[in-house]
Amino acid sequence: MKYFTLILTVILFSNMAQSQKNNESYDQLWKSVQKFEAEALTKSALAVVDKITIKAKREKNSPQIVKSLLYSSKYALTLEEDAQLKIINDFKDGIAQSEAPTKNVLESYLANLYWQYFQQNRYQFYNRTKAETKIDTIDFRTWDLSTLFEEINIHFQNSLTDPVLLQKVKVNDFKPILQDQKDSKLYRPTLFDLLAHTALAFYKTPENNITRPANKFEISNPDLLCEANEFIEQELDLSDKTSLQSKALGVYQELLRFHTKNTD
């Protein structure tokens, strides 16, 4: 449980803004949440968060939908038994009930929850043999390493669906769940940039204990070492479905295609 608490804490407090100046109504609600938190009244804080969730869904306010789900997940760790599984299922329900771009953001968060859970429990996964099918389709804690990585990949890929739409969404639109970093708007100007680089953090991992096919992908083609305008035209060998490297290169190609017209 302490590992999952750490995961939620990292997600909440590294990505969460503390104020929303442009929406007094949400601002007042979150102030109430913070007041109840300061008084250790978790159930009262959750009740306000539930109101925010209803309001955000009614108004189709993507940042507030995501933020309220993050807070609900945090409180579940205090109030619910077997909270790890409940949190994952809450994100799945949120995804099923959402449309882009909210759905894309939740897909990214869900992938990261799986990924960070693995990082905290990698020794358990390395001791498991690969199963032909999921032993338990719901409880991710029973999965083997290959199954978990495949699931993480699926959700990161889902987070990048409809790139044209994501490229039109400015990162400022999601300010309530972001923490500004120096030059972040310059290098990550759109939601697509943000989600793509989040996915790359996983695809660039050096983890190599996944069972690989005989025709495993290797970065051995010298033609890949070329100028950006040539690289985006390269045809990648995607026959190795387990390769994180090939998926990383594919994401880089998409980013470069999007920004290739930038003069700077």
Nearest to 106, CA basis, from 85, 116, 92, 87:
92
Mean pLDDT, the chain, as a whole number?
85
Q: Is 190 helix (H, G, I), strand (E, B) or coil?
A: strand
pLDDT tens digits for range 69-89: 999 999 998 898 888 899 999
Asked whether the beta carbons of 43 and 79 are under 8 A apart, the reply is yes
- CA torsion sign, 126 to 131 to 133 to 139? negative
Residues 6+ apart with CB under 8 A from 194: 171, 174, 188
Q: Is pLDDT larger for residue 129 or for residue 81?
A: 81
At 135 the pLDDT is 67
Nearest to 104, CA basis, from 198, 184, 10, 172:
198
Whether the per-residue pLDDT at 145 is higher than 80: the answer is yes
pLDDT tens digits for range 172-181: 888 888 876 7
Q: What percent of the chain has pLDDT over 70?
A: 84
Residues 6+ apart with CB under 8 A from 234: 221, 223, 224, 226, 253
Residue 240 dihedral angles phi and psi, to the nearest 5°:
-85, 100
C-alpha distance from residue 248 to each of 38, 48, 156, 235 (Å): 42, 40, 11, 14
Q: What is the mean pLDDT of residues 122-139?
A: 76
Distance from CA of residue 55 to its chain's centroid? 23
Nearest to 112, CA basis, from 8, 252, 192:
8
Asked whether the beta carbons of 100 and 161 are under 8 A apart, the reply is yes
Asked whether the beta carbons of 37 and 18 are under 8 A apart, the reply is no
